[in-house]
Structure 1
Amino acid sequence: MRFETFAFLPPMGPTQIEAQVTHALSQGWVPMIEYTENPNSADFYWRQWPIAATRVNATTGVAELASAAQISSQMESCARRNPYAFIRFSAYNPQTRQTAMSFVAKTPQEGQ
């Protein structure tokens, strides 16, 4: 699979993934967690895993974004729920209207 931002690097560890998520959030990009069981098939659509807001501000009513640790925790939840799926983190830049970052954070746990 060579279709994401960091495809030329070895797999990232949890701290490296969290650092990339932190960078995406600091840039103001919208985080997404996606998963699929077969990324090489004709099915190009990945399912989205929900990222819940941490809390809603009582005075403004606006939902506050999740932190990098919470997003990493959601990726772990997605991997536990879908053990044979590839888990991808993507970040959307609303200013340029493009995907700014996308990489496979978890690969399937074969044989479990």
Structure 2
Amino acid sequence: MSEMQDYKSRLSDPNSRKLGTFSYLPQMDSDQLRKQIQYIVNNGWNPAIEHTEPKQATSNFWYMWKLPMFGETDVDRILGEIELCKKANPGNHVRLIGYDNIKQSQGANMVVYRAPIEV
């Protein structure tokens, strides 16, 4: 078995902070993001977009971008809303959530845009 890797994430270094499971992986390209959105849609989950300032990213509270997209199945429309959120909030991180209305929980949660962090 290979040795476990230590991720040097520290509060003192905002650029090192991890924001969910996907943040330990390389940044998703547009095709990979599209597949994740399709996964949310295929599971019947309701997509929602949130954003926050990088210094507040570890907080439980992120700002909601519009209302959740109840019943939305068009991947391009969801991608379009992500882009609108990024343009309206250029200094903020943006995340996509897939709400599972049966289990009343989040089925998916991923940061889809990390804003540049000013130190």
After TM superposition, the structure 1 = structure 2 runs for residues 46-57 of structure 1, keeping only pairs within 5 Å, are: 46-50=62-66
Partner Cα separation in structure 2 for residue 64 and residue 21 of structure 1:
13
Q: Compared with structure 1, are the counterparts of its residues 71 and 51 closer, same or farther at alpha carbon in structure 2 (3 Å cutoff)?
A: farther
Partner Cα separation in structure 1 for residue 86 and residue 19 of structure 2:
20
Q: Which has the larger helix fraction?
A: 2
Unpaired stretches in structure 2, ≥5 consecutive residues:
1-16
After TM superposition, the structure 1 = structure 2 runs for residues 61-76 of structure 1, keeping only pairs within 5 Å, are: 65-76=72-83
Q: Compared with structure 1, are the counterparts of its residues 64 and 98 closer, same or farther at alpha carbon in structure 2 (3 Å cutoff)?
A: closer
TM-score (norm 2): 0.73
Partner Cα separation in structure 2 for residue 98 and residue 71 of structure 1:
20
TM-score (norm 1): 0.77
Aligned residue number for residue 57 of structure 2: 39
Q: Retained in 2: the 8 A contact 1:51–1:66?
A: no
Q: Retained in 1: the 8 A contact 2:49–2:68?
A: no
Could you list the per-position Cα deviations for residues 53-91 of structure 1 after superposition, in whole angstroms to 9, with x for gaps in the alignment? Answer: 6xxxxxxxxx86251111111101111111110000011
Q: Percent identity?
A: 24
Aligned residue number for residue 98 of structure 2: 91
Partner Cα separation in structure 2 for residue 95 and residue 52 of structure 1:
15
Aligned residue number for residue 86 of structure 2: 79
2:112 to 105, 109, 112: 105
Unpaired stretches in structure 1, ≥5 consecutive residues:
54-62
Q: Which has the larger strand fraction?
A: 1
Aligned residue number for residue 57 of structure 1: none
Moved over 6 A (4+): none
Aligned residue number for residue 29 of structure 1: 45
Q: Retained in 2: the 8 A contact 1:32–1:49?
A: yes
Over aligned residue pairs, what C-alpha RMSD do you find?
2.2
